[in-house]
Chain A
Amino acid sequence: MLDFLASLVPQFAMDWWIAWPSWLQYLAATLFKILILTVGVILCVAFSTYFERKVIGSMQARVGPNRVGFKGLLQPFADVFKLLFKEVIVPSQSSKFIFVIAPLLSLTPALAAWAVIPMNNWFVIADINAGLLYVLALTSVGVYGVILAGWATNSKYALLGAMRSAAQIVAYEIAMGFALVGVLMAAGSLNIGDIVNAQAGGVSNWFLLPLLPLFLVYWISGVAETNRAPFDVAEGESEIVAGFHVEYSGVAFALFFLAEYANMILISTLTAVFFLGGWASPFEGWTFLNDISWLAWLTAGGLHWLFLKMCFFMYTFFWLRATFPRYRYDQIMRLGWKVFIPVTIVWIAVEGAMAWFHVGPWSNLGA
C-alpha cells in the first residue's frame, strides 16, 4: 500500500521532499496524518448522524431523512450549515469564558485519543508504550466539558445534568479500567499495536470469548461513559430539558454534538481493538479464499475490517437507543458499583487462574 502510494508521487516532488531536514519531514508527516485522521473522524461523525436517523427510523417504521441529496445522504451537511449560521447565545448570568471553552474541552480529548489507535499495520500517529493508559486517561478527561458547561450556564437544569454526568462517569470509569486490566493481562502489553497483534490468527484468538464478561462490561460502560441512551440521564429531555447543554445553541451546540459522536466512534473502535482483534481479519488462515482474487480482501487485515467492526458497534449504539427506556439514576449507580465492578474483579481472578494453567490466550506462555 505504501509503495503504491509512493509510486504515485512524481520524481521531482520526491527529490524536493528528501531535501527537507529530517525533523521537518517528521513534523510534516505527523501533521498530515493528524489531518487525515481528524477529517476521517469528522466525516464518520457526519454520516453516523444520518445512519442513526435511518436506523431508528426503520426501527420505528418511519423513513428517516430522505429529502436532501440522494436518499437524504446530504442531510448531515444541511444540519451542519444550519447550526453554523445560527446565533450562539451566551446567557447574561453565565461564567462567559468557561461557557465558551466547555464545548472545546469536551471535543479535544475525544479527538486526541485517536493518536494511539492503529488503523492497520502501519498507520498510527503515536506508537507509544502506554497507549492503553493514554486512551483511558483521555476518555476520563472528557467529563470536564460536561461539568463545566453545566456549571457555567448558571441554570438548575444544566447543573443537575452536570452532576449526574460527573457521578456516572466516575462510577463507570472504574469498571472500564478494570475491564482493560483484563485486556492487558491477556495481551501482556499496554501498547495498542501489540494488543492487536496478540489477537492475530482468526476469531478463536480474539479476546472476545476468553474475556466475554469483560467485553460486556467494557461495552456497556462505554455506552454509559458517552452519556448515550439508555444511560443519558445527563441530558434527560423528559425531566431536565436537555441537561448540561440546555443553553447552548449554534456552533457551541454543534461542538458538543461532535464530541458526543466522536466519543461514540472512539468507544466503538476501542471495543473492536481490545476484544475483536482491531484491524485483523476474522478469516485469517482461510487460505482457500486467497485463490479467488475478488475475495482476497476478506483474509487480509486492514482498515476495512476495523471500519466494519466499528460500524457494527455504532449500529448497536442506535439499536440500544431505539429499544431501551432510560435507566433511573439510582439504578445506573447500582449497575455500575454493585454489578460491573464485582464482575470485573472476579473475572480478573479467573484470568489469573487461566494464565496459571496456560489456557486460552496464555496457552503459549512459558510453555
Chain B
Amino acid sequence: MMLHSILFYVFAGIMFGAALGVILSRNPVHSVMFLVFTFFNAAILWLLAEAEFLAIVLVLVYVGAVMVLFLFVVMMLDVNVEAAKRGLTRYAPLGIGLALIMAIELINVIWLRDQGEGAALDFVDLPEGYSNTKALGSVLYTEHFYAFEIAAVILLLAIIAAITLTMRKRPGLKVQNISKQVAVRAKDRVRLVKMDAEKKQ
C-alpha cells in the first residue's frame, strides 16, 4: 500500500502542475494540451482506485473526442494575448469565488459527510475478480435505469438542438444527390449511334 500512496502523490502532483499550466500558459493550444495531460493523470488516479472503466472512458471520451474538437476550435482562433491579460483582473474575483465554492464542496464531500463512516485514508483492496465495468453496468441498467435513459435523451435533444440552431439553408447551394447518381444507368446518358465508316479524304 506504500507504493500506492507514493504513486498517488506523484500523479496527483503532476496533475496539479498540469492544471496550473492550463490557466497559466499564454498560448491557448498549450492550455488545451495541458488539459489533456490533466485528464490523463486523472485517469491514472482512477486506475489506482481500480476504477478502470471510468479511467479508460475518461481518456476515450474527453481526450479522444471532446478535446480533439476543442483543439480544432482553438487552433482556428487568433487570440490576442494583450486583450486576454486586461480581462484577467476583471474576472479574477469571479474565478477565485468559483474556486472557493468548489473547494468547499470537495471538503464537504470528503470530510464532513464521511465523519460518521470515516473516509478511507488508503486505497481499499477490492476482491479478486472484481470488474468495475460490470459493477457500474449492473447498477446503471437496473436501479438507475430511468435516470440513465433520461440523461441519454437529454443529450440526444442537445445534439439535435445544436444542429438545428447552426444549420443554415443557403440558396443556390449545389449538392449531389447520391441516390440519383447511383441510380444512373448508361442507357439514360449515352446514345450509341451506328454509322458507316467514312471514306478518307
B window 46-85: CB within 8 A of A = 52-53, 56-57, 59-60, 63-65, 68-69, 71-72, 75
Q: Which residue of B56, B64, B72, B132 has the most chain A CB atoms within 10 A of its CB atom?
A: B64
Residues from chain A with a CB closer than 8 A to the CB of B59 are 137-138, 141
Stretch at the interface among A125-133, A213-221, A297-305: A125-133
- Contact (Cβ within 8 A) B72 A173: no
- Contact (Cβ within 8 A) B75 A162: yes
A window 162-212: CB within 8 A of B = 162-163, 166-167, 169-170, 173, 190
- Contact (Cβ within 8 A) B72 A166: yes
- Contact (Cβ within 8 A) B132 A169: no
A147 part of interface (Cβ distance < 8 Å): yes
Q: A130-B52, A130-B56, A137-B56 are in contact. Are A143 and B68 (CB under 8 A)?
A: yes
B36 part of interface (Cβ distance < 8 Å): yes
Question: How many Å from the CB of A127 to the closest CB on chain B?
Answer: 12
- Contact (Cβ within 8 A) B133 A170: no
Residues from chain A with a CB closer than 8 A to the CB of B72 are 147, 163, 166-167
- Contact (Cβ within 8 A) B68 A134: no
Q: A130-B133, A136-B60, A140-B64 are in contact. Are A147 and B71 (CB under 8 A)?
A: yes
Number of chain B residues whose Cβ lies closer than 8 Å to a Cβ of chain A: 23
Question: How many Å from the CB of A229 to the closest CB on chain B?
Answer: 21
Q: A129-B131, A334-B178 are in contact. Are A144 and B52 (CB under 8 A)?
A: no
Q: Which residue of B57, B60, B133 has the most chain A CB atoms within 10 A of its CB atom?
A: B60
A window 121-163: CB within 8 A of B = 128-130, 133-134, 136-138, 140-141, 143-144, 147-148, 151, 159, 162-163
- Contact (Cβ within 8 A) B52 A137: no
B14 part of interface (Cβ distance < 8 Å): no
Interface flags for A18-58 (1: CB within 8 Å of B; 0: not) read 00000000000000000000000000000000000000000
B33 part of interface (Cβ distance < 8 Å): yes
- Contact (Cβ within 8 A) B60 A147: no
A115 part of interface (Cβ distance < 8 Å): no
A98 part of interface (Cβ distance < 8 Å): yes
Q: Is the interface of A mostly helix, strand, loop or mixed?
A: helix
CA distance A130 to B50 in the complex (A): 11
- Contact (Cβ within 8 A) B29 A169: no
CA distance A260 to B158 in the complex (A): 35
Q: A129-B133, A162-B75 are in contact. Are A144 and B60 (CB under 8 A)?
A: no
Residues from chain A with a CB closer than 8 A to the CB of B52 are 128-130
Q: Closest chain A residue to B66 by CB distance?
A: A170
CA distance A128 to B178 in the complex (A): 44
Q: Closest chain B residue to A147 by CB distance?
A: B71
CA distance A133 to B75 in the complex (A): 28
CA distance A147 to B132 in the complex (A): 33
Question: How many Å from the CB of B125 to the closest CB on chain A?
Answer: 16
CA distance A128 to B33 in the complex (A): 28
- Contact (Cβ within 8 A) A170 B178: no
A-B contact pairs, 15 of them (CB 8 A): A98-B30, A98-B33, A128-B52, A129-B52, A129-B131, A130-B52, A130-B53, A130-B56, A136-B64, A144-B71, A147-B71, A151-B29, A167-B72, A173-B65, A334-B178
Q: Which residues of B contact A (CB under 8 A)?
A: 27, 29-30, 33, 36, 52-53, 56-57, 59-60, 63-65, 68-69, 71-72, 75, 131-133, 178
